[in-house]
């Protein structure tokens, strides 16, 4: 436990890797796709059943606790091994022939503290190899990170060795010179001593754990605060549709999702912390002039493009929370491609991210659609570590899995490499499905009575969102019980790439009712009513709310 706390202290204080996350991320990349997917699906199912509204927050917390528990298990096993080692070395036996291991208990020869120190280092080696193999997850230099792992494990081993020695000394039969030791009774001074010692060890461990946790929590809030001095774009500007005629029903989700509330999904227990100074974007492969950029080079070298965008995860269940809308700022990918000059043989862009995630897209898409962009800001501020600092890509009409965060390299190639999740059984196209959700049925939940509606008389305002990828939404309809589909009113959206807010003011009639919503996208395609799961190509089905009025 103290070791875990120290790891997280290092992580929040100096951006050092935390062994539990390092190991967890490595394992989740190595496991076969179906197992990982099954794990995620069951986690999402449990979280939804437990009633958490924000799936991704709860999922990350669950992942992180799993990582910590797994690590505690590793440490417990390693500790048990270490104790077994001390014991066998302390006992008379063949190994005693090595003079140095003689009398581990009496402290002569090699001490168990030193032995623990060395063995502890040995236990850190698998983790160091994993860290080095995974490349810079946290941005900490490989050498520094390795020393950090070694040190923490050595300290852990040494303290175990020290504890072992104290326990062994106190339980050892009294040395022969003091056979005539006077003793008052059955409770010897030594066993009391032993108990106080154990209590002290426990106390020290607990103190270290709590102190580590508190300091690291404090540090990570402090780390976040510099960004909060900067104003997000939305706090100083009205939204582009501020004057829209159709008003959202109170209780509908915010039209622009605050960055801190936007869902987060990726393959890392902790977000990669990439230092801006050492980061470069490299575009190469089948190009006349491969080139690399710094973040400032991208930010200052091209006119910025701002787009309001709704992003959704392919794992978002019907009416789930893995969808959000933000104002993205970046530069059309086309601008950078024009500088590297793709060769005629180039047909695809293979994108690599710092966490090993990868995806690809057709070169023609990037050249023909300027909305395909490399984005560096959300809501007017640099991307947060969670959402892809320093750079991520946007591709209209595709689920989030096609859009890597933390991009480092783009290779022009003749063929496309199947993406990270595509290799694990998800749809290669991952085109966004048409979806619609009821956010609120405007009743006063306390009294169960309907609120005043917009149509003059008593009406129940019903509101929510509808989304058709980059195709827009042309029609939203609501059905009450088994009645006919009736048109809802659509609020002008933030852009053609975002969800729309809609409202339906339904003449109040008391009783139990079920409201269902469906929509059509901008091309007139109607939302699929048949229920299908998120895998492999996104959930379909209609959302209903049952309400007692
Ligand atoms: N490098 C990297 N990019 C990634 C992922 C990832 O695991 N690693 N996950 C993808 C998935 S599945 C989704 S849904 C979106 C989520 O973006 P967000 O966390 O900013 O909402 O990021 C995408 N980009
Ligand atoms: Mo996703």
Question: pLDDT in tens for each of the 549 residues of the chain?
Answer: 788 888 888 888 777 888 888 888 888 888 887 788 788 778 888 888 887 878 888 888 888 888 888 889 988 898 889 888 888 776 666 555 555 555 565 555 567 788 888 888 888 888 888 888 775 555 567 788 888 888 889 999 888 888 887 777 776 555 554 444 444 445 556 666 778 888 888 888 888 888 888 888 787 776 655 555 689 999 999 999 999 999 999 999 999 999 999 999 999 999 999 999 999 999 999 999 999 999 999 999 999 999 999 999 999 999 999 999 999 999 999 999 999 999 999 999 999 999 999 999 999 999 999 999 999 999 999 999 999 999 999 999 999 999 999 999 999 999 999 999 999 999 999 999 999 999 999 865 444 445 554 444 578 899 999 999 999 999 999 999 999 999 999 999 999 999 999 999 998 888 899 999 999 999 999 999 999 999 999 999 999 999 887
Predicted local confidence at residue 95, as pLDDT = 57
Beta strand 358-362 with 485-487 is unpaired
Q: Is 262 in the pocket of ligand 1 (CB under 6 A)?
A: yes
**267 C-alpha to ligand 2 centroid (Å):** 10
**297 C-alpha to ligand 1 centroid (Å):** 24
What b/e readout covers 311-337, taking b as 16+ CB neighbours within 10 angstroms? bbbbbbbbbbbbbbbbbbbbbbbbbbb
For a ligand 1 pocket test, name from 37, 266, 322 the mutation site with the most ligand atoms within 8 angstroms of its C-beta. Answer: 266
- The H or E element spanning position 519 is strand 512-521
> Which atom of ligand 1 is least distant from the CA of 266?
7
**406 C-alpha to ligand 1 centroid (Å):** 9
For a ligand 1 pocket test, name from 60, 258, 265 the mutation site with the most ligand atoms within 8 angstroms of its C-beta. Answer: 265
**268 C-alpha to ligand 1 centroid (Å):** 10
**357 C-alpha to ligand 1 centroid (Å):** 9
Cβ 279 vs Cβ 332: under 8 Å? no
Closest CA to 385 of 400, 354, 358, 406: 406
Predicted local confidence at residue 183, as pLDDT = 46
What SS3 class is residue 280?
A: coil
Nearest CA to ligand 1 atom 10: 401
Q: Is 353 in the pocket of ligand 1 (CB under 6 A)?
A: yes
Q: Is 309 in the pocket of ligand 1 (CB under 6 A)?
A: no
Rounded-to-10 torsion of CA 201, 204, 209, 215: -170
**41 C-alpha to ligand 1 centroid (Å):** 16
Nearest CA to ligand 1 atom 24: 404
Q: Is 56 in the pocket of ligand 1 (CB under 6 A)?
A: no
For a ligand 1 pocket test, name from 387, 392, 400, 432 the mutation site with the most ligand atoms within 8 angstroms of its C-beta. Answer: 400
- Give residue 48's Cα distance to chain centre: 17
**523 C-alpha to ligand 2 centroid (Å):** 25
- What is the Rg, in whole angstroms, of the alpha carbon atoms belonging to the chain? 30
Q: Is 313 in the pocket of ligand 1 (CB under 6 A)?
A: yes
Torsion sign across C-alpha atoms 216, 218, 221, 226? negative
For a ligand 1 pocket test, name from 259, 405, 407, 536 the mutation site with the most ligand atoms within 8 angstroms of its C-beta. Answer: 405
- Token duo for residue 456: 């003059």
> Which atom of ligand 1 is least distant from the CA of 353?
1
CA–CA gap between residue 25 and residue 463 (Å, rounded) = 40
**264 C-alpha to ligand 1 centroid (Å):** 7
Ligand that lies nearest to the alpha carbon of residue 421, given by its number in the listed order: 1
Question: How many other β-carbons are positioned within 10 Å of the β-carbon of residue 390?
Answer: 25
> Which atom of ligand 1 is least distant from the CA of 263?
21
Predicted local confidence at residue 9, as pLDDT = 81
């Amino acid at each position: 436990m103290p070791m875990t706390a120290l790891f997280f202290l290092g992580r929040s204080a100096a951006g050092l890797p935390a062994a539990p996350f390092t190991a967890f991320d490595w394992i989740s990349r190595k496991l076969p796709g179906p197992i990982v997917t099954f794990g995620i699906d069951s986690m999402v199912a449990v979280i939804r059943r437990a009633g958490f509204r924000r799936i991704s927050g709860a999922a990350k917390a669950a992942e992180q606790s799993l990582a910590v528990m797994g690590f505690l298990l590793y440490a417990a096993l390693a500790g048990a091994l270490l104790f077994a080692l001390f014991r066998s070395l302390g006992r008379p036996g063949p190994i005693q022939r090595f003079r140095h291991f003689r009398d581990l208990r009496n402290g002569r020869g090699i001490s168990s503290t030193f032995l623990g120190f060395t063995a502890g280092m040995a236990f850190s080696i698998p983790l160091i190899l994993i860290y080095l193999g995974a490349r810079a997850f946290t941005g900490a230099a490989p050498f520094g990170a390795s020393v950090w792992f070694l040190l923490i494990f050595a300290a852990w081993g040494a303290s175990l060795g020290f504890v072992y020695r104290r326990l062994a000394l106190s339980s050892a039969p009294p040395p022969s010179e003091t056979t005539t030791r006077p003793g008052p009774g059955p409770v010897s001074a030594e066993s009391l001593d032993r108990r106080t010692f154990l209590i002290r060890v426990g106390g020290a461990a607990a103190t270290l754990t709590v102190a580590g946790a508190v300091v690291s929590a404090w540090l990570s809030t402090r780390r976040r605060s510099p960004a909060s001095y900067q104003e997000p774009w939305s706090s100083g500007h009205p939204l582009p549709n501020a004057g829209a005629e159709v008003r959202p029903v109170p209780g509908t989700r915010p039209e622009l999702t605050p960055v801190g509330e936007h869902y987060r999904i990726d393959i890392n227990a902790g977000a990669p912390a990439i230092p801006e100074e050492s980061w470069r974007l490299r575009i190469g492969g089948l190009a006349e002039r491969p080139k690399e950029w710094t973040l400032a080079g991208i930010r200052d070298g091209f006119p910025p493009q701002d787009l309001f965008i709704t992003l959704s995860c392919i794992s978002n269940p019907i009416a789930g929370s893995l969808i959000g809308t933000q104002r993205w700022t970046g530069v059309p990918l086309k601008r950078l491609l024009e500088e590297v000059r793709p060769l005629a043989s180039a047909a695809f862009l293979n994108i690599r991210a710092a966490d090993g995630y990868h995806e690809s897209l057709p070169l023609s898409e990037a050249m023909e659609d300027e909305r395909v962009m490399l984005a560096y800001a959300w809501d007017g501020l640099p991307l947060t570590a969670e959402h892809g600092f320093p750079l991520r890509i946007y591709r209209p009409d595709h689920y989030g899995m096609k859009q890597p965060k933390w991009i480092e390299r783009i290779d022009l190639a003749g063929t496309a490499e199947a993406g990270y999740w595509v290799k694990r059984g998800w749809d290669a196209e991952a085109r966004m499905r048409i979806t619609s959700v009821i956010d609120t049925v405007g009743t006063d939940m306390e009294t169960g009575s309907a609120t005043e509606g917009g149509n003059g008389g008593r009406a129940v305002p019903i509101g929510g969102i509808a989304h058709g990828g980059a195709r827009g939404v042309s029609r939203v309809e609501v059905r009450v019980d088994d009645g006919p589909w009736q048109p809802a009113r659509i609020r002008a959206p933030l852009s053609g790439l975002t969800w729309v807010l809609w409202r339906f003011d339904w003449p109040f009639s008391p009783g139990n009712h079920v409201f269902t919503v469906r929509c059509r996208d901008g091309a007139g395609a109607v939302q699929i009513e048949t229920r299908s799961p998120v895998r492999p190509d996104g959930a379909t089905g209609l959302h209903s709310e049952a309400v007692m009025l």
